[in-house]
Structure formats: structure tokens, C-alpha cells
A and B are shown apart, each in its own frame.
Chain A
């Protein structure tokens, strides 16, 4: 867990925190929650997905970002 924490940068930490505090969100909502532009969160989000901390769920109107169990543990630690 400490290893994960060390590898997460400030932007990624903010994204995880925003998902933890306000629940699942569409990518644009997540950008707004963290006061960033959509382009600015694209790369960090992809890295979080690769690390298995965030996952995308498809739904009728688009897709939703959700914290995985591991992601939740990282935020809590």
C-alpha cells in the first residue's frame, strides 16, 4: 500500500479523493470536481485505471468512473 501511495502524484490523489468523497462520476464531472480541464485529467486517469485503482462502467448515457476496492483502500490509508 505504501508503495502505491508513493507512486501516486498530487493530481491522481485529488482524483481518487474526489471519487471517494462524492461517489462515481462521469469523466467530465471528475474534471469539474477537481477544478481541472478534461485534457488535464486524461493521462492521470489512464494511469489510475492501469494501476487498478479506478474502473469505468458503461451506462446508457456514457461511462462512469468508480473507485475499485484497492482505490478505496488507498484513499483511506
Chain B
């Protein structure tokens, strides 16, 4: 136990943990602000976990490089790197020891930056895909359970409170959909999307639950 503690202290493990935590928190805040409409759902995706882990890992890598250049191993260094490591690799500050031979610190910084940007984009795409997949499943459920009349009524209520910000008036949108030449299924789909987008996924889930309950009650009565 003592040996382990000595080893941990000798390798500044506490500092790495602090850096990883700060970087992970930073990543969480980025995800929450990027997916402001569904922050909790976005955070639960595998893409989000990967992005948080990636941030922590890259920040630790930068802390390791910074400590190797002789930077004082203090808590402030760890927190500072946790907060600013993205800026450090993006501005290619010369904090990494130049490698002997052809490699330069700038090249290392640049490659890290490029690699992180690609991985970050990959994680964001994964989060997008998961969220869209969830939306598609919810839409399918709504289309199976709810009819045009009910959807139109709820969509109208959702839009009633919205103010026109562009040339199209939100309050006329339901009527516009109903009057269009689209088939009934397309109209239902647009109304479901209206409730989902201008109302909330929770509202649509409640409607589906209500319809399921109603269906069960009706079945009980007939049996």
C-alpha cells in the first residue's frame, strides 16, 4: 500500500486526475451547450462518453508534455492544463520538448490538434446519430398510436403560443398542413414533427402513453 502511494505521489497521479476531471467537465459543458435542446439525452450517448474520455486523455497527454518541459507540478498547473489544453495544442505553443532529428514540437502540436479535431467531429456525429435514431423511433410510435385529428389539435395548441419571427405565421401552420395536397400519412408526420420540435419529446411521449392507456381501456370494455 505504502509502495503504491509512493509510486502515485512520484508520478503526480493526483495532478493527472485533476486535469482529467477539469477537461471532462469542460467537455460536458461543450456537449450541453451544443445539444441544448436535449442535453441529458445527449450526455447519455456513447459518443458523449467517448468525447469526455477523449478530452480527459488528451488533457493528460498535454499535462505530461508540460511537466516534461520542467513546468512546476502544482495543482494550478493541472487545472490550467485541464482548462486550456485545447488552446495550447491549437496555438501550437512551443511547450513540447523538440524531438531530436526531423520532428519538431510544432509538428507534434499540429498533429495532436488535427487528430483531436477529427475525433471530436466523429464523436459529435455519433451523438447526432443516436439522437436522430431516438427521434425516428418516437415518430414511428406516434404515427402508429395517434390519429390526424388529435395530432392537429395538439400541434395547434403547441403553436398557439409562438410568435411569428419570419414570413410564415406559426399559428397558421397546422391549417397549412391540413389544406395541402399531401396524403394523410405525410400530414400526420409533419404534425408529429411539429409537436416534437416546437413542443417537446416529453409531450409526444405523454400523448403516446395516453393513447396506449385509452386503447387498453377500450379493449377491457369490449372483452
Contact = CB atoms under 8 A, between A and B. Distances in A.
Contact of A61 (B136, B167, B194): B136
A59 B134 CA distance: 12
B106 to A, nearest CB: 23
A59 B135 CA distance: 13
A26 B132 CA distance: 8
Nearest to B140: A61
Interface in A2-58: 10, 14, 22-24, 26, 28-29, 31-38, 57
Interface residues of B, number: 28
Contacts of B186: 38
Nearest to A66: B128
Contact of A35 (B135, B136, B173): B173
Interface string B119-138: 00000010011001101100
Question: Secondary structure of the B side of the interface?
Answer: helix
B37 interface: yes
Nearest to B166: A14
Contact of A22 (B125, B129, B190, B197): B197
B132 A22 contact: no
B176 interface: yes
Contact of A32 (B35, B128, B197): B197
A23 to B, nearest CB: 7
A28 B198 CA distance: 13
Contacts of A23: 34-35, 37, 128
Given A29-B197, A32-B193, A57-B125, A64 B132 contact: yes
Contacts of A64: 128-129, 132
Given A37-B177, A61-B132, A29 B193 contact: yes
Most buried by B among A10, A14, A37, A66: A37
Interface of A: 10, 14, 22-24, 26, 28-29, 31-38, 57, 59-62, 64, 66
The 4 A-B pairs of least Cβ separation, nearest first, read: A35-B168, A61-B136, A32-B193, A35-B173
Given A14-B166, A29-B193, 15 more contacts: A22-B37, A23-B128, A28-B190, A29-B197, A31-B190, A32-B190, A35-B166, A35-B168, A35-B173, A35-B176, A38-B182, A59-B128, A60-B129, A61-B136, A64-B129
9 contacts: A22-B197, A35-B168, A35-B170, A35-B176, A38-B182, A38-B190, A59-B133, A64-B129, A64-B132
